[in-house]
Amino acid sequence: MNITIGLFAHDEATALPGFLNTLFRQSIFGKAGAGLDIRIVCLANGCSDDTAVIAERAFTGILSQPSRCSSVSCVVAEIKMASKANAWNELVHLHARETDEYILCIDADITLVDEDCLIEVVRSLDQAPQAHVAVDRPVKMSGGWWHKRSPVSRMASMLTREKNRRDAIGPAICGQLFCGRAKIFREIWLPTGLVRVMDGFIRAMVTTNCLTTPEEQHRVIEADTHHLFEGYRSPLRLFIHNRNLLVGLVANFVVYEFLRDRVTPEAHAGELISALNAENPLWMSELVRERLSARDRWRFLLAYTRRPLISGIRSSRAGRLLAGFLLALLRAPLAVAADRQLRLGRFEW
């Protein structure tokens, strides 16, 4: 079985050595991966530090070790554009092999604590023929009880509570780590201007066969394993992160509507995006600016802001009403900041 593993790295010179140490302790590179032919591609996109050099040096040292049970090859791809979406396109359509059965996508700043994480994700997908993508569980690292109960942590929980309820209808794709069938990924192209909620865009393409069929939730499954990631501890960084997510959600909605109007039996969304990327890499930003009027922006943003308050009112419980009111207050400045980004067409941050 052939597998390509894509490591997404943007200015990760500091974190990369530690990440690679945990990566190569994975059982997929030992007895559990016997018979696998693995190609690792480090996608150093838009880096201004020594990420590519450090990756090359680490790969050389690791490959000199004779104890690998699986066949492993490594390559570093330096990409000028600082865009994870563009790097994903290059991974799938340029660096992955025609003989690959699976493509694993991993961010180079996470921590792999379960040594069976990668092999479990691959096995779960291999044993579920109805599924196209397998994910694990992302777990936020904590600095102790003081961080768990900090105002920033509580704010993050409030801002993401509704998202978690939506994800209950089926596993979400977390862009930090997921595995997909190569033949399915080859049908998908991402807009080069797509910065945030890339994982949501991929999920939409996977579960709707590139917008040609109704959504099929069973196409994404969750393996019984997890990885760790560092959460935001700064209120400003948390605010910017959630603003960017909101901008991405609105932008994706506009793009979905645009593509659905043009999808035909002869040309699905992936093919349309590939042609648009080749014609104009900035087409997504221009489309959102042109199609999203001020009235449309605020209709979406006001609905986002008021939703927790309306939910609290309908619950008829004082605690839920208070929580909904506070969450609406938190979301109001996010909506204002997101509107400014959308108005100016700023998607590269």
* Average pLDDT rounded to a whole number, residues 309-335: 84
Alpha-carbon distance 285 to 191, whole Å? 10
172 within 8 A of 135, measured Cβ to Cβ:
yes
* Average pLDDT rounded to a whole number, residues 324-345: 85
233 within 8 A of 150, measured Cβ to Cβ:
yes
Q: What pLDDT, in 10s, does the model give residues 273-289?
A: 999 999 998 898 889 88
* pLDDT of 190: 96
* pLDDT of 142: 61
* pLDDT of 145: 38
Q: What pLDDT, in 10s, does the model give residues 39-86?
A: 999 999 999 999 999 999 999 887 777 656 668 999 999 999 999 999
* pLDDT of 66: 63
Alpha-carbon distance 276 to 221, whole Å? 31
Amino acid 135 reads V
Position 131 confidence tier, pLDDT thresholds 50, 70, 90: very high
pLDDT: which is higher, 207 or 291? 207
Pick the CATH number of 2-233 from 3.90.550.10, 3.40.50.300, 3.40.50.12280, 3.40.50.720: 3.90.550.10
User: Considering only CA atoms, which of 47, 34, 63, 85 is closest in space to residue 283?
Assistant: 85
Query: Residue 192: how many CA atoms within 13 Å on its side-chain side?
Result: 18
Phi/psi class of residue 258: alpha, beta or left (left: φ > 0; alpha: ψ in -120 to 50)? Answer: alpha
**Given a cut of 50, is residue 167 above it in pLDDT?**
no
The whole-chain average pLDDT of the chain stands at: 86
* Average pLDDT rounded to a whole number, residues 102-109: 97
Position 241 confidence tier, pLDDT thresholds 50, 70, 90: confident
Alpha-carbon distance 113 to 341, whole Å? 37
* pLDDT of 334: 87
Whole-prediction pTM value? 0.86
- Every domain range in the chain assigned CATH 3.90.550.10: 2-233
**Given a cut of 50, is residue 144 above it in pLDDT?**
no
pLDDT: which is higher, 28 or 315? 28
Alpha-carbon distance 101 to 184, whole Å? 10
Rg of the chain's alpha carbons, rounded to an integer? 21
* Average pLDDT rounded to a whole number, residues 326-348: 81
**Least confidently predicted of 2-11, 207-216, 258-267, 293-302:** 293-302
- In DSSP terms, 76 is beta-bridged to 42
**Given a cut of 50, is residue 148 above it in pLDDT?**
no
User: Considering only CA atoms, which of 141, 102, 137 is closest in space to residue 224?
Assistant: 137
% of the chain beyond a pLDDT of 90: 54
